[in-house]
Amino acid sequence: MSNSVGGSNPETELAALSPPESRAARIDKVERETRIARLRDGMREQGIDAVFLVAGSNLRYFAGVPWGLTERLVGIAITDTDAVAICPKFEDSALAPVLQIDASCRYWEEDEDPNALAADVFGDLGVKVAALDPNCPLWLYERLKNAGPAISFRNAEPLTTALRARKSNAELALLSEAKKMTLEVHRRAARILREGIRASEVRAFIDNAHRAIGADGGNTFCAVQFGEGTAHPHGVPGDPALAEGDVVLIDTGCTVDGYNSDITRTYAFGAPSDEAQRVWDIEKEAQQAAFDAAKPGVTCGDVDRAARRVLETHGLGPGYRLPGLPHRTGHGIGLDIHEGPYLMLADKTPLAQGMCFSNEPMVVVPGEFGIRLEDHFFMTDDGAEWFTEPQSSFTEPF
């Protein structure tokens, strides 16, 4: 084994982990108010009377409410001058401490129709054109439309995605903290590997390690793949045991104040084959090419093309053909693990300061192995900067 793979055990590695002494500041009310002000600017430009946010990442982004979507309607109607929250009455005491904007509240009881209440709120606010949260499901849209047939509904996605794409300094600090945590967890996970260890054992360790290091909870997700299983981008069912000479691919993340990490490391357990080493080197080159292409004003699609050009010069692809890259080069990241814009050929969004992306132009060799190096960068006025140091070696990953 290498110096950074194997040689330890879960108990030793967990005991060495603790939360950082200095933590990134959480998003405060002042920043939420700034976001609301920018949202209102966009509403005026597009002739929208109100944006209606439902439980999910947009409600958290603008109002601080971290709740997930359920069958019970929770939302906030935001107009040019007002904000009105709609919530089940029995949740009033839970809403108050998490609501981080100035808003009045309208409550509904269990035997009342919350959609009719929403229509009443729109009427009281004089809303004729409402833009719905893109996280709003079809069933909820239909109920709101039936309750308020005079209202013209639009999709708020162009507003919300554009605002969320460019992160503030506070958001960058939270993202950076989460990614540093996950990278350290990766390093510790590599140390516990041994021949015969099951993927489930590694996943359990990574979950406990994220908790020990101070993330919001355990893993937000975790994929542990060995050998041929690494050729499947999101894994296959089962609980494989690690064998000498296997390629190891681990993809995991956590959250800090809701902001996500999502880092993949691929390395050799024992001596790698010449072909695995060759493909790892190509993957590393493609990832660097995407990073080098990321300049302000360059489109997301052009970054994807830069990675694919490298693969094609080595006989991989073209396009999505295998052996090669079967998916996009990367995705935006923030309160959602995957959020727009995306580093894919069809996305013509120009890169701009504050945007954050994964960079993961995976190479799949069907039936044999896959190599994915996933790190994240953020855009500055001068170009891209890494959140964390990319992997530099197939055999000495940390």
pLDDT digits (tens, 9 = 90+) for 4-47: 999 999 999 999 999 999 999 999 999 999 999 999 999 999 99
Mean pLDDT of the chain: 97
> Looking at residue 135, what is its pLDDT?
96
The CA distance from 131 to 211, in Å, is 38
Residue 106: strand pairing partners: 86
pLDDT tens for residues 109-118? 999 999 999 9
> Looking at residue 2, what is its pLDDT?
73
Quick one: 18 exposed, middle or buried, by C-beta within 10 A (0-12, 13-18, 19+)?
exposed
Domain range annotation of the chain: 49-155, 166-386
pLDDT tens for residues 159-215? 999 999 999 999 999 999 999 999 999 999 999 999 999 999 999 999 999 999 999
Asked if 27 and 40 touch (Cβ cutoff 8 Å), the reply is no
Q: Is 319's pLDDT higher than 70?
A: yes
> Looking at residue 227, what is its pLDDT?
97
Q: Is 104's pLDDT higher than 80?
A: yes
Residue 377 is encoded by which pair of tokens?
A: 């960068």
> Looking at residue 313, what is its pLDDT?
98
pLDDT tens for residues 324-344? 999 999 999 999 999 999 999
Distant-in-sequence, close-in-space partners of 76: CB < 8 Å, separation ≥ 6: 52, 53, 59, 62, 63, 65, 83, 84, 85, 86, 101, 103
Closest C-alpha to 52, from 85, 89, 87, 92: 85
Distant-in-sequence, close-in-space partners of 206: CB < 8 Å, separation ≥ 6: 185, 189, 219, 222, 224, 250, 252
Q: Collapse the DSSP code of 355 into the 3-class scheme (helix H, G, I; strand E, B; otherwise coil) and give the result.
A: coil
Architecture of domain 49-155: 3-Layer(aba) Sandwich (3.40)
> Looking at residue 270, what is its pLDDT?
96
Q: Give me the mean pLDDT over the 52-72 stretch.
A: 98
| Cα dihedral: 383, 215, 208, 10 (round 10) | 50
CA distances from 34 to 41, 59, 63, 103, 359 (A): 11, 15, 11, 15, 29
Q: Is 1's pLDDT higher than 70?
A: no
3 pLDDT band, cuts 50/70/90, is: confident
- Residue range 166-386, CATH number: 3.90.230.10
Q: Roughly how many angstroms between the first and final C-alpha of the chain, as a whole number? A: 13
Q: Give me the mean pLDDT over the 72-79 stretch.
A: 98
Q: Give me the mean pLDDT over the 60-83 stretch.
A: 98
Distant-in-sequence, close-in-space partners of 392: CB < 8 Å, separation ≥ 6: none
